[in-house]
Chain A
């Protein structure tokens, strides 16, 4: 149902984004987006120490801001 939202978000892969849900706002580099999860790399360069990938349920995302 929300696949069109996920597809549009996928066009932002590689950009810095703020993903806002009702619980938290996650800021980082968008890694992937599909109808199930939107994945954001936070806390550093991908693969480096302190780097984390946060998987967020696409259905709970209210909006994404390109920062």
Chain B
């Protein structure tokens, strides 16, 4: 029995060595941290002891620790305001709406009348949110 268990462990080790794990795949060349963020969100959501308001903070911490992912400093701020109404100031003007999605270099906002806007963080100057940073509305 013990021999069989050791054999299974060995097979698992070989499989892991031959097949890149999820993190290696996510952090590989051309990776997009959105997939990683989605993965972490699901992971943290499964832990009922973590308040939903602090999930985005934990995700930001993990991303900072992992490093190496090229993203705008606005991505972390936007992520902590997911599903909140914000005012984003760009080089062209301001956009007011609810943040529905965040990527490394963009945020998707839903304006009044359900109009979708994709904001480029490369030309973003400021993000203004209501209330203390990261507070769930």
B interface, over-half SS: mixed
Q: A60-B123, A61-B123, A62-B123 are in contact. Are A5 and B118 (CB under 8 A)?
A: yes
Q: Is the CB of A1 within 8 A of B115?
A: no
Chain A residues, Cβ within 8 Å of B120: 2, 5, 58, 61-64
Q: Are A1 and B108 in contact (CB under 8 A)?
A: no
Residues B91 and A65 in contact, CB atoms below 8 Å apart = no
On whether the beta carbons of A8 and B92 are closer than 8 Å, the reply is: no
- Indicate if B95 sits at the interface (CB-CB under 8 A): yes
Q: A67, B115: Cβ atoms under 8 Å?
A: yes
* Interchain Cβ contacts under 8 Å between A and B, 12 examples: A1-B122, A2-B105, A3-B105, A7-B32, A9-B106, A9-B118, A12-B118, A61-B123, A62-B91, A62-B123, A63-B90, A65-B117
**Chain B interfacial positions (CB closer than 8 Å to A):** 32, 34, 70, 90-93, 95, 101, 103-106, 108, 111, 115-124
